[in-house]
């Protein structure tokens, strides 16, 4: 179907972007969900929009999340735009990933994973990965996250590298390490390993009064 519309590279996106406008424009507009299972957990993906015009939809979806997966492109120019600081004098808008990270923190999403995507676009260059990770650490510290509690995973979503199985395209990659608490750190190579071994189910409090968020209040 994606090939029929001349968007063969959007094939995987079509799995989550199901409405006609999303597929024609090539952007996620509304929050869509899909479920999958790992060895330990049952996950529901909330695919939130990245485009600035639909940030309200992104907030609605992220407010329900236990875990945030921040994606940033490794390609030259893509990463720099994603974490750009807003500068009204220069007409520079805040980068989408920087904005999303800040919103996740404000929404109380404490567990995050950073996925450095499109590593194939930079030839799986170790220097590029290190550059991105170092800059991301600075950004997370400024926002309020603790970088030692954040796994950084280089991968290629389109090719499937380091998603389920460890890729052989980056011999320099020794895996991710992240602290669950001050006395315990976990390690791994892939995103699925991270979802299985790093993420901790949050404590629920069914005995407390119900909280019902409202997003719209119609006026009479």
Chain-centre distance of CA 18, in angstroms? 20
Please give the tally of structural domains in the chain: 1
Residue 137 lies in a domain: yes
Q: Which residues pair with 181 in a beta bridge?
A: 184
> Which pLDDT score is estimated for 2?
43
Segment 50-79 shows an average pLDDT of 83
Give the closest residue to 57 by CA, choosing from 96, 33, 31: 31
Residue 15 lies in a domain: no
Residue 34 lies in a domain: no
Please tell me the number of Cα atoms within 13 Å of 53 on its side-chain side.
4
Instruction: Of 25-34, 98-107, 133-142, give the range with the top mean pLDDT.
Output: 133-142
Q: Which two tokens stand for residue 162?
A: 């380091």
How far is residue 184's CA from residue 124's CA, in Å, rounded to a whole number? Answer: 30
3-state class (DSSP) for residue 114: strand
Query: 62 versus 39: which is more confidently predicted?
Result: 39
Which residue is it, tokens 């996925």? 115
Residue 212 lies in a domain: no
Which residue is it, tokens 């407390």? 208
> Which pLDDT score is estimated for 28?
59
Which CATH number does the domain housing residue 87 bear?
A: 3.40.50.300
Question: Model confidence at 72, in pLDDT bands (50, 70, 90)?
Answer: very high
How far is residue 220's CA from residue 216's CA, in Å, rounded to a whole number? Answer: 13
Residue 189 lies in a domain: yes
Dihedral sign for Cα atoms in the order 103, 109, 110, 111? negative
Q: What is the β-pairing status of strands 111-117 and 67-73?
A: parallel
Element (H, E) at 147: none
Residue 213 lies in a domain: no
* Residue environment code for 153-166, b if the CB has 16+ CB neighbours within 10 A, otherwise e: bbbbbeeebbbeee
C-alpha to C-alpha distances, 109 to 15, 66, 137, 145, 216, nearest whole angstrom: 25, 6, 17, 10, 22
Segment 105-127 shows an average pLDDT of 95
List Cβ neighbours of 39 (8 Å cut-off, separation of 6 or more). 196
- What pTM did the predictor assign? 0.80
Residue 117 lies in a domain: yes
Domain of residue 90 covers 65-197
**Mean confidence (pLDDT) of the chain:** 85
48 burial level (CB within 10 Å; 0-12, 13-18, 19+): buried
Residue 40 lies in a domain: no
Query: 141 versus 26: which is more confidently predicted?
Result: 141
């Amino acid at each position: 179907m994606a090939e029929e519309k001349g968007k063969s590279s959007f094939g995987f996106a079509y799995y989550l972007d199901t409405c006609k406008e999303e597929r024609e424009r090539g952007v996620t507009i509304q929050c869509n969900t899909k479920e999958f299972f790992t060895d330990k957990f049952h996950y529901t993906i909330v695919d939130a929009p990245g485009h600035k015009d639909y940030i309200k939809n992104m907030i609605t979806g992220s407010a329900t999340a236990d875990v945030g997966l921040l994606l940033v492109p490794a390609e030259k120019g893509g990463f720099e735009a994603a974490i750009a600081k807003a500068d009204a004098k220069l007409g520079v808008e805040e980068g989408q990933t920087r904005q999303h990270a800040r919103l996740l923190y404000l929404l109380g999403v404490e567990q995050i994973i950073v996925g450095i995507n499109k590593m194939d676009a930079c030839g799986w260059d170790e220097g590029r990965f290190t550059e991105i990770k170092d800059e991301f650490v600075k950004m997370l510290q400024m926002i309020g996250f603790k970088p030692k509690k954040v796994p950084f995973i280089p991968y290629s979503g389109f090719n499937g590298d380091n998603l389920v199985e460890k890729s052989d395209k980056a011999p320099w990659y020794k895996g991710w390490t992240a602290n669950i608490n001050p006395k315990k750190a976990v390690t791994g190579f892939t995103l699925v390993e991270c979802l299985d071994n790093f993420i901790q189910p949050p404590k629920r409090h069914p005995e407390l009064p119900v909280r019902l968020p409202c997003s719209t209040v119609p006026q009479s």
